[in-house]
Amino acid sequence: MDTSPPVPQATAPARRDRTHYLYIAVIVAVVAGIAFGFLAPEAAKELRPVGTGFVNLIKMMISPIIFCTIVLGIGSVRKAAKVGRVGGLALGYFLVMSTVALAIGLVVGNIVHPGSGLHLSEAVAKAGQKAASGAPAESTADFVLGVIPTSLLSSLTSGEVLQTLLVALLVGFAVQAMGSRGEPVLAAIGVIQRLVFKILAMIMWLAPIGAFGAMSAVVGATGVDALKSLAQIMLGFYVTCAIFVFVVLGLLVRLVSGINLFSLLRYLGREFLLILSTSSSESALPRLIAKMEHVGVSRSVVGITVPTGYSFNLDGTAIYLTMASLFVAQAMGDPLSLGEQLSLLLFMIIASKGAAGITGAGLATLAGGLQSHRPDLVDGVGLIVGIDRFMSEARALTNFAGNAVATVVVGTWTGEFDKERARVVLAGEDPFDESTMVDDTDDAHDAHDVPVSPVSAAPRPVQA
């Protein structure tokens, strides 16, 4: 018998992630745009078309992104529902918590009034008048009939976001009703989604140029007021995320599972640091699966809840979408009415599920929400481009914390969460074995500690 140690197999080198260069370039462009706006305000104002051009490229991607992600999202719901009570509870929880996060974003946004000091209404008023010229006010019946497209495919080319959403929902539920025969359709749309996200990734490399143009124009037109308003929405967003995590999620996990949130977050401290360094919660997905099993949640619950939550439980992104929408509307001098805010909330509940695809999908979803309700405000998305990178870490951290709490809560509801084991683990008496994340083929480890991760079958979002 050959007793020589096994020769480790060579692994392919990990593909180098270059997106951190993009983040750095955007930050440099924002600083340069602010400086140029102060030094040459008149010239800076002329750069407004640069930011508008970038936003138009984002608008170009709205319909295909929403169509692909909604159809595939409904397919994911079908797959999760197949596993019975765990999948149903998880999906119901995700829907409720996303709605709560969206509502909190609206409430805080109406209290803080981000963007109210910019007064960018002059240029936008002209654009809004141009867009509305010759268009009489719509009645409720006209609005409802306008949601129905001329043909099934015209919704993808007309730029009408609500029409795209309607067709995506119809296609999604039709494919779901087809059962296994609908799998080829989902596979084809999955390939199209990869193509769409690849194009979006290419467009996002122009973000530094768009951020420079938009920031220069805003600072040149409003001076220091622009910086105050941008700082206000960033601070308001950070505070809102903190309130959601420490108050809403903290109370929920304490009342349902009897777990102290701070102990859980401390247990996941290394994962939070990993997210901070990469601006993406995807990097911590395998570790979250392994740690949730180690803390006492059953493997079946973890395998269903975590991957599904990465596409459907985007609490930080939900807060960002609503607050950013209010910021743009108030910066343009034409705040959203209560009715518009509520209808936007309903739109975001569905469309926010499409913000989990890739860097830039959040901007496309934000633009889609404004396009569907107030097309005259879409140009204001250029204001968000410059500060989007500064809020990406908070979004990713909030999304990650939300998914960790969701796993514990769903495990408790299904009776598949070992509270005594959780107490021991969170107290530090049974520390997580980091070596299992490096060498999961070591037979010396107990089978319970070696996670069999369903990552390969899970959606691979980038929650930036």
Minimal CA–CA distance to 322: which of 52, 97, 110, 168? 110
Tell me the per-residue pLDDT of 32-89, one tens digit each, with 9 for 90 and over.
Answer: 888 888 888 888 888 878 877 887 887 788 788 778 877 877 776 666 655 567 777 8
Residue 451 has pLDDT above 50, yes or no: no
Query: What tokens appear for 310 in the block?
Result: 């990465």
Residue 389 lies in a domain: yes
Distance of CA 301 to the CA centre of its chain: 23
With respect to residue 308, please indicate whether it lies within any of the assigned structural domains.
yes
Which pLDDT score is estimated for 250? 94
pLDDT digits (tens, 9 = 90+) for 393-430: 788 889 899 999 999 999 999 888 988 999 999 888 88
Q: How many domains does the chain have?
A: 1
Question: Could you tell me if residue 147 is inside a domain?
Answer: no
pLDDT at 252: 94
Distance, C-alpha 274 to centroid of its chain = 18
At a CB cut-off of 8 Å and minimum separation 6, what does 21 contact?
none
More confident position, 382 or 267: 267
Q: State the chain's mean pLDDT as an integer.
A: 75
SS3 labels along the chain: CCCCCCCCCCCCCCCCCCHHHHHHHHHHHHHHHHHHHHHCHHHHHCCHHHHHHHHHHHHHCHHHHHHHHHHHHHHHHHHHHHCCHHHHHHHHHHHHHHHHHHHHHHHHHHHHCCCCCCCCHHHHHHHHHHHHCCCCCCCHHHHHHHCCCCCCCHHHCCCCHHHHHHHHHHHHHHHHHHHHHHHHHHHHHHHHHHHHHHHHHHHHCCHHHHHHHHHHHHHHHHCHHHHHHHHHHHHHHHHHHHHHHHHHHHHHHHHHHCCCHHHHHHHCHHHHHHHHHHCCHHHHHHHHHHHHHHCCECHHHHHHHHHHHHHHCCHHHHHHHHHHHHHHHHHCCCCCCHHHHHHHHHHHHHHHHHHHCCCCHHHHHHHHHHHHHCHHHHHHHHHHHHHHHHHHHHHHHHHHHHHHHHHHHHHHHCCCECHHHHHHHHCCCCCCCHHHHCCCCCCCCCHHHCCCCCHHHCCCCCCC
What token pair was written down for 317? 């992104």
Residue 210 to residue 456: CA distance in whole angstroms: 35
Residue 440 maps to a domain: no
Residue 1 placed within a domain: no
pLDDT tens column, 326-371: 888 887 777 778 888 888 877 777 766 655 545 556 677 777 777 7
Nearest partner of 327 among 361, 392, 362, 377, judged by Cα = 377
User: What is the amino acid identity at position 307?
Assistant: P
> For residue 205, is it within any domain?
yes
Taking the C-alpha atoms of residue 395 and residue 172, their distance in angstroms, rounded to an integer, is 28
Q: Establish if 2 belongs to a structural domain.
A: no
Backbone angles phi, psi at 417, to 5 degrees: -130, 120
Q: Write down the pTM of the prediction.
A: 0.69
Alpha carbon dihedral 125, 130, 131, 133, in 10-degree steps, equals 120
HSE value, Cβ hemisphere, 13 Å, CA-based, for 333: 11
- With 90 as the cut, is the pLDDT of residue 247 above it? yes
* Residues above pLDDT 70, as percent of the chain: 75
Higher pLDDT residue, 198 or 376?
198
Q: Which two tokens stand for residue 157?
A: 């080319």
- List the domain range (segments joined by +) for residue 261: 19-125+161-434+447-457
Residue 45, classified by CB atoms within 10 Å of its CB into exposed (0-12), middle (13-18) or buried (19+), is middle
User: Is the CB of residue 40 less than 8 Å from the CB of residue 296?
Assistant: no
Let me know if 420 is exposed, middle or buried by CB neighbors in 10 A (0-12, 13-18, 19+).
Answer: exposed
5-28 residue pLDDT tens: 444 444 444 455 565 677 778 788
Would you say residue 6 lies in a domain? no
Q: Are 76 and 312 in contact (CB under 8 A)?
A: yes
User: Alpha-carbon distance 426 to 220, whole Å?
Assistant: 52
Q: What pLDDT, on the 0 to 100 scale, is given for residue 279?
A: 62
**CATH code of the domain in which 175 resides:** 1.10.3860.10
Tally Cβ neighbours within 10 Å of residue 339.
Answer: 9
Inform me whether the pLDDT recorded for 192 exceeds 70. yes
CA distance 341 to 335: 10
Taking each helix axis from N to C end, the angle separating 85-112 and 381-413, rounded to the nearest 10 degrees, works out to: 140
Cβ density class 277-304: b for 16+ within 10 Å, e for less: ebbbbbbbbbbbbbbbbbbbbbbebbbb
b/e 120-129 (16+ beta carbons within 10 angstroms → b): beeebeebbe
